[in-house]
Amino acid sequence: MRCCCSTPASRCGTARRCCSAAASRRWSASTRLTTSSARTPAACSSRTSPSRPRARPTARRSAICSRGQNPHALVVLSAGALFDTRDHEYTPTRGTFTELTVRASPGVQQGLRYAAFSLNSAWYKSFIGEYLSFAIRGVADVIAGDAPFYELTRFGALMPRDGPGGGWSLRGVPRQRYAGKIKLLQNLEIRSMFWKFTIKNNHFAVGAVAFLDAARIWADFGRTELGGVSVDGGSFKLGTGGGLRVRWGETFLVRFDGAYSPTDKTQGFYVDVGHVF
């Protein structure tokens, strides 16, 4: 039956009902297509509808979003060297700690072959014993090759951490918000353990910390665009705040940190065991 929605009503008859049904079918098909494509972010989706020709993804987009999305096996080999002159492993006030590591995968499945190099160095300076000390850390992490997407939100090998973002790297910024092959991270802390007391032969100490965290991330070694917009723009991301430290004995320390990011306009509260660095 020919559809004639553009013809006068006197000449259409049942054909108008044909048009209405056809339009309804087209609307229903469009709704199903939109629902299916919304499951994955447009920038990272590698799926296309059977009725739509497959778009050719850019190499940069594929490098950022596609690798490691499907179930796969991954073998990672790690090695490193440590240089440690800290006066205390858990609550240092003097000395340095430097870690140089490499992690690599030979690519068991999906061609996930990559190598990553990380330099982590922390320095500690005491002004008045434990009552007032200063700590600073710098991290550089570089990934070469075809790493899975989740590796882009981590750094380090012997003691890997998520970041930048989260309570162990960039406080105030949500965990795994930023991902990339090149990461720079810096943490500054002013520490003070100002109250010590004993309960039934158990030694406790309470202190406070003020901190400033900063990080810079690059998606890849070259310019990276998603939808024609560069994702490498901007500057350092910042997080700042303060918190309490409660130490029981010599090795167990609990931290309570509240942080705000003036660059991302987000905040976070963290409860964990041990200093960030």
pLDDT, one tens digit per residue, over 108-157 is 888 899 999 999 999 999 999 999 999 999 999 999 999 999 999 999 99
Q: What is the Rg, in whole angstroms, of the alpha carbon atoms belonging to the chain?
A: 27
What pLDDT score was predicted for residue 266?
97
Selection from 148, 151, 149 nearest residue 163 by Cα: 151
Selection from 215, 211, 153, 154 nearest residue 184 by Cα: 215
Q: What is the distance between the alpha carbons of residues 78 and 271, in angstroms, rounded to a whole number?
A: 29
pLDDT, one tens digit per residue, over 225-261 is 777 777 776 789 999 999 999 999 999 999 999 999 9
Name the pTM for this structure. 0.74
Amino acid at 218: W
pLDDT, one tens digit per residue, over 171-220 is 999 998 999 999 999 999 999 999 999 999 999 999 999 999 999 999 89
**Structural domains of the chain ordered from first start:** 74-273 (2.40.160.50)
**Which run of H or of E encompasses 15?**
helix 15-37
- Token pair for residue 100? 């140089």
What pLDDT score was predicted for residue 4?
40
Q: Is the pLDDT of residue 223 over 50?
A: yes
Residue 66's pLDDT band, with cuts at 50, 70 and 90, is low
* Burial (CB count within 10 angstroms: exposed 0-12, middle 13-18, buried 19+), residue 277: buried
Mean pLDDT score of the chain: 81
Residue 34's pLDDT band, with cuts at 50, 70 and 90, is very low
Are 206 and 192 in contact, with CB atoms under 8 Å apart?
Answer: no
**Which run of H or of E encompasses 59?**
helix 59-65
Q: Is the pLDDT of residue 60 over 70?
A: no
**Which run of H or of E encompasses 196?**
strand 182-199
Selection from 92, 103, 159 nearest residue 130 by Cα: 92
